[in-house]
Amino acid sequence: MGDYSATPAGCRFRLTPGGACASGQLGWHSALNAAAVAAALRQLGLPAEAIPEALAAFPGIAQRFQRLGDGPVPTYCDYAHNPEKIQAALRTAQDAAGGPVLAAFQPHGYGPFGFMRDELREALARTLRPEDRFFLLPVYYAGGTSSFRPTAAEVAAEYAALGLPVQTVEARDDLLAQAKDAAGVRLALVMGARDPSLPAWTAKLAAVLYPRQSR
């Protein structure tokens, strides 16, 4: 795969065989996934010249950099829930935004959050820019044995003390109020897994960002 470039609607790249391809999915990682799909299609006997059309027809799936709302601030929901996936989603958002990104991550479970604590800090240090705003939302607790540690507040304070642009909120909906005054945000991204209410909440965030930019 070569000649990768981001577009407002997704990305472009070239496959050999296959030629120039366009995808409605955003991000370098999406182009790599498309290349893997193209290789599988070739093994199944699809002619190389048919691959670009097949890839362009894929509409995407829920919570894989899924745009929610149609306001002027593009707002996406992504199932990213570990440091590598969070980094990929953030870089995709930065490429698409052309300016500051407002990102929020809702950890799923205290145990997984504790396991990824150091690795996530390193991923954010490599990825976040000074103009970005990153919020750790309160941990989504689905039940089971737990120490209820670490909290989002503890981890956010640790990251912020190291100079990362990371904040937290006491309750998830508190971010909706803060987002109304988030001047200059060009794209919003909500990440997290297992919580079925997260897409609907992301749509709420999109609605909050709409009137601020429309005034």
- pLDDT at position 8 is 74
Determine the pLDDT at residue 211: 60
pLDDT tens sequence across 142-191: 888 889 999 999 999 999 999 999 999 999 999 999 998 777 899 999 99
Convert 34-57 to b/e letters by CB count within 10 Å (16 or more is b).
Answer: bbeebeebbeeeeeeeebbeebee
Q: Is the C-alpha dihedral spanning 24, 79, 202, 214 positive or negative?
A: negative
Residue 109 confidence (pLDDT) above 70:
yes
Q: Is 97 within 8 Å of 188 (Cβ atoms)?
A: no
pLDDT at 48 over 80: yes
Class of domain 66-214: alpha beta
State the pLDDT confidence band at 210, using cuts at 50, 70 and 90: confident
Residue-level pLDDT at 17? 86
pLDDT bin (cut points 50, 70, 90) of residue 70 is confident
SS (H, E, C) the chain: CEEEEEECCEEEEEECCCEEEEECCCCHHHHHHHHHHHHHHHHCCCCHHHHHHHHHCCCCCCCCCEECCCCCCCEEEECCCCHHHHHHHHHHHHHHHCCCEEEEEECECHHHHHHHHHHHHHHHHHHCCCCCEEEECCCECCCCCCCCCCCHHHHHHHHHHCCCCEEECCCCCHHHHHHCCCCCCCEEEEEECCCCCHHHHHHHHHHHHHHHHHC
pLDDT class for 57, splitting at 50, 70, 90? very high
Ranges 21-25, 46-50, 118-122, 210-214: which has the least confidence: 210-214
pLDDT tens digit sequence for 8-37 = 788 999 998 889 999 999 999 999 999 999
What is the per-residue pLDDT for 99? 93
Burial of residue 162 (CB within 10 Å: 0-12, 13-18, 19+) is exposed
Q: How far apart are CA 108 and CA 195, in angstroms?
A: 8
Q: What is the mean pLDDT of residues 188-197?
A: 97
So where are the chain's domains? 2-56, 66-214
Q: Say what angle helices 110-127 and 83-97 make with each other, to 10 degrees.
A: 40
